[in-house]
Amino acid sequence: MSKILVFILISLFFTSCSLNKNSKLWNKEDQIVNEVKDQKETIFVEEKKELKELNPLLQLDLSKTKTNNKIYDDLNNFGSLKYSGSLIKTAKYNFSKLDNFNQFNYEPLLLNDGLIVFDKKGNIIRFNDNQKIVWKNNFYSKSEKKLSPLITFAIDKKNLLVADNISKIFSIDSVSGNLIWSKKSDYPFNSQIKIHKDKFFVINYKNVLKCFYINDGSECWEVQTDESFTVSKSKYSIIIKDNLLIFNNSIGDITAVDISTGLIEWQLPTQKSSIINEAYNFNYSKLVSDGDSIYFSNNKNEFYSVDIKSGIINWINQVSAILTPVIINDYIFTVSDTGYLITIQKKEGNIIRVNDIYKNYDLKKRKKLTPTGFSIGQTNLYLSNSDGNIIVINLTSGNLSTIEKASRDLISRPYIYNGDLFVVKNGSVIQYD
C-alpha cells in the first residue's frame, strides 16, 4: 500500500511540473523553443541592400553611340533611339479608359503612319498619323467584352497578330481591319508575341511556350516548364537569336529551345524551389541581349548576365530592378525600384555609377513614387513615373535636365519611334516632338 502511495505522489509531482508554466522545467523548454524560433526567423530574413549614390559626377564617353529607329527587335535591344526633341506635345489619340490601368504595362503598336490601340471592351482601333480612326473592330462576344481583355500586338507585313488574357489568339488584316482567323486556347496568354518566318510564339499563364503558324493559327509545337500556384504580375519576354528562342517564366527559369523543333537546348533556374509558392510577389525585367549574352534583373536584388549559347552565368550583381535594361556600347543602364539610375559595365558586371534621380523629392512624396519605364534617345534618358511625370536625365553626366508633366496619374514607359516620343495614360496616347 505504501509503495502505491509513493508511486502516486511521484506521478503527481512530475505531472504538476510539466503542466505548471511557472516551473523551472517548463521555462527551460519554453526557452529552447524560443531559441529555435529565433533561429528560424533569422534564417529566412531576406537581406536587402540599400542603394546609395556612387561616383555621381563620373562623366561617360558616349560620343561613339549610334542611334537607330527600331520599334521591333528580336533581342529586345533598342539601344539609343533617334529622338532629341524638347517634349513639345503634338498629338493625342483618345480611346475609352481601361479598368485597373495601373496593374499592367499598356503597350500600343506604333506604325509608320499611325498606331493601333485597344480599349476596355476589346475594341481594336487603328489611327492614322492625323489622329483619325482608320478602322475600329471588335471580335469578342458580349460575355468576353465584360472581362475587359488585355491585348498584346505584333505585326507581320499585313498580319496583325493578337493574344490576350482570356485565352484567345487571332489575326487581323492590318489594312482593312477584317478578321483573318481566330482561335481559342486552353489558358490565357501573358507574354510578348515574337515572329520568326512563318511562325509566331507566345507564352501562357501555365508557363507553356506555344508556337503557331501565322497563316492559320494552327499549333506547331509547345514547350512546358514548371508552373507556379499563382499568376505572375509581370509579362514574360522572348528573344530570338539565330536558331535559338529564349524565354523566361513566372518562377525565374530561363529556357532556350531550338526554334524549329521546340527541343530544349538549355535551362537555367535562377530562383529557389520555394518561389513556386511566391510567384505573385516575384517581378522581373524583360530579357535583353546583345547577341552574345542575355541580361535581366528582378526584385530579389539580382541582375544577371548569361551566355546566350550555353546558359552559363557570366556574372550576377546586386541590383533590384524590374524595368527593361538598355544596352549602349559597353554599358548597361537600368533604373532601380527606388529611383536610382545605375550604370553597369557590360562585360565585367561592375557598377561604375549610381545617380539618385529622386533626390529632389521630399521623403513623403518619394515613398509613393515608382518608376514605370524608360527609353533612351540620343544621350538623354526619359523616365516615366507613377505621378505622371517624365524625368529627363543627361546620360553622359547623370544629371537631371527637366521634368515634363504628362498626366496627373500613372503613365506607361516612353516609346520612341520616327523621331517622336509616345506615352500612354489611361484613355489616350500622347505624342511629343
For residue range 106-144, what is the model confidence (pLDDT) as tens digits?
Answer: 999 999 999 999 999 999 999 999 999 999 999 999 999
Of 80-94, 203-217, 263-277, the poorest mean pLDDT is in 263-277
The count of C-alpha atoms lying within 13 angstroms of the C-alpha of 66, restricted to the half-sphere facing its C-beta, is 4
Cβ neighbour number for residue 248 with a 10 Å cutoff: 29
Residue 350 has pLDDT above 50, yes or no: yes
For 178, phi then psi, to 5°, come to -80, 150
Residue 8 has pLDDT above 50, yes or no: no
Domain 106-234+236-282, architecture per CATH: 7 Propeller (2.130)
Cα distance from N-terminal residue to C-terminal residue, the chain: 105
Beta strands in 101-149 (DSSP E): 109-111, 114-118, 124-128, 133-137
Residue 4 has pLDDT above 50, yes or no: no
DSSP-derived 3-state class of residue 62:
coil
For 101, phi then psi, to 5°, come to -60, -30
Residue 44 has pLDDT above 70, yes or no: no
pLDDT of amino acid 49: 64
Q: Where are the domains of the chain?
A: 2-42, 106-234+236-282
Q: What angle do CA 151, 156, 161 make, to 5 degrees?
A: 25
pLDDT of amino acid 278: 64
pTM of the model: 0.87
Tens-place pLDDT, residues 158-170: 999 999 999 999 9
- Locus of grid cell 500622347: 430
